Amino acid sequence: MRDMVAGLGPFGSSIENRVFFGMIGKGTERPKGKPDRLLAFSDGVLAIIITLMILEIHLPEVSHQATSQEVYTAFLKTLPHLLAYVLSFTNLAIFWINHHTLFRIVVEADTGLLWHNCHVLFWASLVPLATAFLGEHYLLPEATMLYGAVQLMVLLAGMAMVAHLFSHKLVHGALSPAMRRYYTRLNGSSVALSIAAMLLGYIATWISIVCFVVIIVLYCVPKPVEVLRDEERLIADAKEVGQ
């Protein structure tokens, strides 16, 4: 078989790899590997996203002869941009922490997981756009609609990735009933609040912003002891399998 493939010239090595790694033919499994490169790529993308957000905040132009009142007034104009940045930075920090915690229990990574992770990062890469628009037009319902839509898609893409992890047995072990209840409530509440924020902005944009803040608060509330205990069990099992 190898001699036959080698006879195909420069294309031989590529076809050989695909055949012997199970990428051609029915009933074959996708190749799996460690998630190290996936994590490094994700960290790099998130760092770029945060950098792009801060670059959208521009210092106000103030003359050397400006009074203190004029300086304060000029800086107040940047306050909506700064608050939008703080909101998005906190959301991305929560995402990164949860992403890091999740991959502590991941034993293997397949091609499907790579695509799911890229799907999540695609929607996360739109956060700077939604943040800049919200900071510039915070009184427009379309701004909160866009911000809520991006946040909603990040949540849904993340939930799809977690479902792929467990359905394809890339995690050693299973979610306990307590973990299922906790994350079902947390994710369900976050999705509902994101949708509410998108719609309630047409009544008053400040209501939408309150919904965004409540989502952050939900993720900052300490997890129940039983959930933390079950997470530690999964992490210990993953370490044992990885050794």
pLDDT in tens, 57-98: 887 777 777 788 877 887 888 899 999 999 999 999 999 999
pLDDT in tens, 94-153: 999 999 989 988 888 999 999 999 999 999 999 999 999 999 999 999 999 999 999 999
Amino acid at position 240, single letter? E
Strand partners, 106: 171
pTM for the full predicted model: 0.82
Question: Quick one: pLDDT band at residue 24, thresholds 50, 70, 90?
Answer: very low
Instruction: Give the distance, in angstroms, between the CA of residue 197 and the centroid of all CA atoms in the same chain.
Output: 19
- Cβ 42 vs Cβ 121: under 8 Å: yes
How many whole angstroms separate alpha carbon 69 and alpha carbon 110? 59
DSSP string computed for 18-36: HHHTT-SSTTPPPPEE-SH
pLDDT of 49: 95
Distances (CA, A) of 12 to 4, 6, 30: 9, 5, 20
Per-residue pLDDT at 211 exceeds 80: yes
pLDDT of 7: 45
Quick one: which of 30, 46, 140 has its CA closest to 84?
A: 140
Domain range annotation of the chain? 1-30, 34-242
How many whole angstroms separate alpha carbon 12 and alpha carbon 47? 39
